[in-house]
Homo-oligomer: A and B are copies of this chain.
Amino acid sequence: MLFKVEMTVKLPPDMPKETADAIKLREKAYSQELQSRGKWRHIWRVAGSYANVSIFDVDSNAELHDILFALPLYPYMEIRVDALCRHPSSIRDDDK
């Protein structure tokens, strides 16, 4: 079951660079692990913004919430969720 999730990151300007770097490193590892497992299907950078557009493939709303809530950058994010489903014009088998 697919969801589009848009995440915008707003780090406090006075966060020490090492703290920020450490969080981003954990964020990257966490994201790549979920991508490897097929849960985090796509992630793209929005040009010009510290933001991404992502597609998640999960079994339930609860699984989506648990994944997002555990993001290392979660406390600094604004998140928007839209539930997706297969489009009748789609020719791509796994876009459902």
Residues of chain A whose beta carbon lies under 8 Å from any beta carbon of chain B? 1-5, 12-13, 27-28, 31-32, 35-36, 42-49, 52-53, 55, 60-62, 64-65, 68-69, 75-76, 79-92, 95-96
Contacts and interface: CB of A to CB of B under 8 A. Distances in A.
Contact of A44 (B44, B45, B49, B90): B90
Q: How many copies does the complex hold?
A: 10
Contacts of A82: 46-47, 53, 81
A47 B89 contact: no
A45 B86 contact: yes
Contacts of A76: 13
A86 B65 CA distance: 10
Nearest to A71: B48
Contacts of A31: 89
Most chain B CB neighbours (cut-off 10 Å) among A35, A68, A84, A95: A84
